[in-house]
Amino acid sequence: MSERLTATPPGVRLGPLEQIADGAARNFVLEMKAGRFHGFAVRRGDGVAGYVDRCPHMGPPLAQRLDQYLTDDGALIQCSWHGALFRIDDGACVGGPCTGAALIPWPLEVRKGTIFTA
Ligand code: FES
């Protein structure tokens, strides 16, 4: 089994910002020589917040259903396993079994409507 990565090189093109509805999240899996990277991005207007798709509580990807990363009101990131809640801004866990921990940031940037790793 190849290693699961927690970072990507800069400049990887992830596609148009428009593929994520404003206020929604999307899963990304990148196959790289060193292994496979799982991350997700939350769109907020013209920007995105990216995190490694790994819950600090027990380590699984957060969403059991594709792209279901957010609470119903879209205000927080929610782990589907035991309900940990994370701020979209900085990934800090603000509720649930890993309060005080944080998601690992996945730096992203939007250039001319296209999302790239930063
Ligand atoms: S694995 Fe995410 S809350 Fe337990």
Domains and CATH numbers, the chain: 3-68+103-117 (2.102.10.10)
Going by CA atoms, what residue is nearest to atom 3 of ligand 1?
82
Atom of ligand 1 lying closest to residue 79 CA: 2
The pLDDT score that the predictor gives to residue 61 is: 97
Kindly state if the Cβ of 101 falls inside 6 Å of ligand 1: no
57 alpha carbon, distance to own chain's centre: 15
Query: For the chain, which ranges sit under pLDDT 70?
Result: 1-2
Q: Return mean pLDDT, the chain.
A: 96
Going by CA atoms, what residue is nearest to atom 4 of ligand 1?
82
Phi, psi of 43 (to 5 degrees): -90, 135
* pTM for this prediction: 0.95
The pLDDT score that the predictor gives to residue 93 is: 98
Strand boundaries in 21-81, DSSP class E: 25-32, 35-44, 47-52, 76-78
Strand boundaries in 11-113, DSSP class E: 13-16, 25-32, 35-44, 47-52, 76-78, 85-87, 93-95, 108-111
Atom of ligand 1 lying closest to residue 80 CA: 2
**Contact, 106 vs 116, CB < 8 A?**
no
CA–centroid distance, 114 to ligand 1, in Å, is 31
Kindly state if the Cβ of 75 falls inside 6 Å of ligand 1: no
Kindly state if the Cβ of 74 falls inside 6 Å of ligand 1: no
Q: Give the three-state DSSP class for 19.
A: helix
